[in-house]
Structure 1
Amino acid sequence: MTALRNLLFKLLFYGGSVPIVLTTPISALISWRALVAHTHFWTRWHGWTTRHILRIDQRIEGGRFGDMAFGGAPVLYAAKHQSMYETLELGRMLRNPAIVMKQELTDIPVWGWAAKRYGVIVVDREASAGALRRMLRDARAALAAKRSILIFPEGTRVEPGEQPELRAGFAGLYQMLKIPVVPVAIDSGLVWPKHGPKVPGTVTFRFGDPIPPGLPREEAERRVHAAINALDVPRG
């Protein structure tokens, strides 16, 4: 049954995603709001297929989302990254944040162009001075548009039990933007593993207590690292 569910999910979700992604430029050319609506249609399709075919549901812990607790003012969301699941779900859940995204993804034909129109923040893994300046420029533009920012501070998708150090991009944004950080712990890797079939279950999104701006880099990184790994179960 698990194999059948995975096969059906691939056929329906990815099959349906092809026309959705290919028509994204049309919405992008109309307006930013049309592009957002188009993106939400795709993420709702993802949510429907994961819920009804894979039997993967979600629950949210930690009360209201961070930016709501600040009267709608933008915040920096720092989230754990274990699967593709949260990359799509958080975009809709957090009301169109500017997502920090590695440059390779924005180089994908059609989709990458639309992602730039949406307003992602491109990060260069080489972390050159010029790349950091561009990232900060894009981040400030997002804040000026009253959009929160979403970053996966460990830099890449990891398996349950893996807790790599935070990448330098997080510290750069934290120190320069001077806005609160809301850590988000996620355990999607338990049902959506990096390797192997997806299995039924529930993905938990736990929003931690906001971390104020202005802390020393080491303390901010320590608190964020602990909070985003709060649901992690180290392998024995």
Structure 2
Amino acid sequence: MLTALRSFLFLLVFYGGSVLFVLAALLFPLFGRGYIRWIATRWSHFHRACARWLLGQKVRVEGVLPQGHYLYIFKHESMFETLDLLCLFDRPAIVAKRELLDIPLWGGIARRYGLIPVERSAGAKALRALRQAAAEATAEGRAICLFPEGTRVPHGERPRLQSGFAGLYALLRLPVVPVAVDSGRLSPRGSFLKRAGTITYRVGEIVPTGLDRKEAEARVHAAINALNPPA
């Protein structure tokens, strides 16, 4: 009963407050990209505060997230880590499907923020645009983040990485920082109920550049699933 009450309050406060952030973001033509990134960061911190004080969800980071020119790869179990990235990094550049930029209203805001779109059928022109966007992001000191499973997966499942990871690894030539996340234990996909507890990020060993596809994928896959129950 307490879990249901907390979940309802979270739904009411977070989504109600998010409307205000979206309305504020619509003013970006007046203030520029820096403004919208500031709004997005405040929204992320608002989300974490709602999760902490309404749901009773704490956050723990095991290890140290290195700063610099890296490709950060995250396990994806719930909406939590999608929104929480802006609490972990300063203005991260998130790689996402190109179709998301076509969503009315949200797409324009995401484009202005600096989300990096990736085409599913990436031709030479799309790959050049992706490399250029990534170069600009790293030049600005922004972390490049990717969820290689393509969608949220239930806690404990270990799907294969989507082909997009290998493509980015070869294209960007950046060392990889894999990060395991166990948010699905407390906020499972498709469930209204969100339980209290601690959500853990576990930073894995850096995967160097220049590995063949099979080895790079194996290392990343093992690292981002480190918080799953033993197979």
Give me the TM-score of the superposition, normalised by structure 1.
Answer: 0.90
Offset of residue 204 of structure 1? 0.1
**Does the 8 Å contact 2:178/2:224 carry over to 1?**
yes
> SS state of the match for residue 53, structure 1?
helix
Distance 1:28 1:163 in 2: 42
Q: Which runs of 5+ in 1 are unaligned?
A: 68-72
In structure 1, what is the equivalent of residue 65 of structure 2? Answer: 65
Structure 1 letter corresponding to 2:224:
I
**Does the 8 Å contact 1:160/1:189 carry over to 2?**
yes
In structure 2, what is the equivalent of residue 92 of structure 1? Answer: 87
Deviations 1:118-174 (A, max 9, x none): 111112334555544433332222223332200011111100122111112111111
Offset of residue 5 of structure 1? 0.9
Distance 1:194 1:135 in 2: 29
Offset of residue 44 of structure 1? 1.3
Offset of residue 21 of structure 1? 1.0
- Alpha-carbon spacing, 1:206–1:109, altered in 2? closer, same or farther (3 Å): same
Q: Out of 96-105 and 51-60, give the one that drifted further.
A: 96-105
In structure 1, what is the equivalent of residue 159 of structure 2? Answer: 164
Q: Which residues of 2 match residues 212-227 of structure 1 at below 5 A?
A: 212-227=208-223
**Does the 8 Å contact 1:78/1:151 carry over to 2?**
yes
Distance 1:153 1:140 in 2: 20
Deviations 1:178-220 (A, max 9, x none): 1110000000000000132111111000111111111111111
> SS state of the match for residue 73, structure 2?
strand
In structure 1, what is the equivalent of residue 8 of structure 2? Answer: 7
**Does the 8 Å contact 2:178/2:220 carry over to 1?**
yes
In structure 2, what is the equivalent of residue 203 of structure 1? Answer: 199
What RMSD in Å do the two structures reach over aligned CA positions? 1.7
Q: How many residues align?
A: 229
In structure 1, what is the equivalent of residue 45 of structure 2? Answer: 44
Distance 1:29 1:184 in 2: 37
> SS state of the match for residue 194, structure 1?
coil
Structure 2 letter corresponding to 1:151:
L
Structure 2 letter corresponding to 1:160:
H
Offset of residue 115 of structure 1? 0.9
Q: Out of 7-16 and 32-41, give the one that drifted further.
A: 32-41
Determine if the alignment matches structure 1 residue 184 to structure 2 residue 179: yes
Q: Out of 167-176 and 137-146, give the one that drifted further.
A: 137-146
Structure 1 letter corresponding to 2:40:
T
Give me the TM-score of the superposition, normalised by structure 2.
Answer: 0.92
Distance 2:51 2:141 in 1: 31
**Does the 8 Å contact 2:41/2:91 carry over to 1?**
no
**Does the 8 Å contact 1:78/1:181 carry over to 2?**
yes
Structure 2 letter corresponding to 1:230:
A
Structure 1 letter corresponding to 2:53:
H
Deviations 1:24-44 (A, max 9, x none): 131464132222211111111
Distance 2:220 2:61 in 1: 18
In structure 1, what is the equivalent of residue 112 of structure 2? Answer: 117
Q: Which runs of 5+ in 2 are unaligned?
A: none
Identity of aligned residues (%): 49
Distance 2:123 2:89 in 1: 29
> SS state of the match for residue 76, structure 2?
coil
